[in-house]
Structure 1
């Protein structure tokens, strides 16, 4: 615990990281403000000092996570010509399905207040799946110019298929269930013909 009256740096990130650990361990039902602050090792009221309520915290957590994933995907086009197309796509898109991903999606679904805030932020331009899809399409087009993706391939459709599959698996997976990443890897390998 931090001593009373001592400022904590990086509070939002610390709370977000703690929430992801709680979600990975206990699922969506285990996420409470008390569980998050306990996991973060800080005062119980700290979460409510930085967020309007738990719905605001959940919405900001989801938006933060998608911003980081979109930033990661934005770096993908620069990898054109390196490694293989399959490996590059796996390294980027599989991050959507890491340990806290399905639990976080479930949490956002069961908290209508959080879902509405997330939708509003995405409508207003916050990075989400659309940004990831656009980066994947740009990457595939770059690989197409290098001859590592078929010249007849519709790169926008392939990007939609990859990101759409990731979204489907994110929304239908559950903590402790089968690993959805294996299914996504299979789809990516099938779409890229394993030779890119």
Structure 2
């Protein structure tokens, strides 16, 4: 534990990672300021030093994870023409469900103040699902120009279906529910790599 008066390096990420471990291990109901700081091995008041309460902490944690996934989506353009289209998309979409993603989303939805802060931040331009949708649309259009996505696929509609389904599964997931990632993988494959389409590797 960091002693009083000694700065804790990378404090935000340290607290965020600790919160994810608490939620993944013990469920959303176990997330308290003390549980987070205990898990992080730092002073009990550290969370409130850096955040305006637990609701603000939860909101900023969710926004940080959304921003990370949006950044990964924007990086998809560099993967055009490599591997398969579905696997490239999976690297982005499935990241939303890593660690405690669904549980954290459910936690945010159960805290009205956190939900409101997230909505206001997204409305103000914070990267989130809209940014992911735009990046996936641009990526699919690039793959289409390379002949790896069929001309019959509308990139913007496919991106909306992928991101919208991911959002739905995140918002409706419950502890102990089936893993949503296989569903996402099947949907991505169906939308962009139907039987015989160029984005699919040839059969052995």
Q: TM-score range by the shorter chain?
A: over 0.9
Q: Deviations over 1:102-134 (max 9, x none)?
A: 101111111000000000000000000000111
Query: Scaled by the length of structure 2, what TM-score is found?
Result: 0.93
Structure 1 residue 177 displacement after superposition? 1.7
Q: Which residue number in structure 2 is paired with residue 191 of structure 1? A: 191
Please list, as runs of the form range in 1=range in 2, the aligned pairs for 1:70-85 lying within 5 A after superposition.
70-85=70-85
Partner of 1:50: 50
2 CA distance for matches of 1:156 and 1:177?
Answer: 30
User: Shift of the alpha carbon at 1:175?
Assistant: 2.5
Q: CA deviation at 1:152?
A: 2.7
Q: Which residue of 2 aligns with 1:17?
A: 17
Indicate the residue corresponding to 1:7 in structure 2: 7
Which stretch has the larger CA shift, 14-23 or 169-178? Answer: 169-178
Match of residue 92 from structure 1: 92
Aligned positions, number? 196
- Superposition RMSD in Å: 1.0
Counterpart for residue 30 of structure 2? 30
Unpaired runs of at least 5, structure 2: 200-204
Runs of 4+, deviation exceeding 2 Å: none
> How far has the Cα of 1:77 moved from its partner?
1.4
Q: CA deviation at 1:151?
A: 1.5
The correspondence of residues 117-132 of structure 1 with structure 2, limited to 5 A, is 117-132=117-132
Deviations 1:50-80 (A, max 9, x none): 0011111011111111111111111011101
Q: Could you tell me the TM-score, scaled by structure 1's length?
A: 0.97
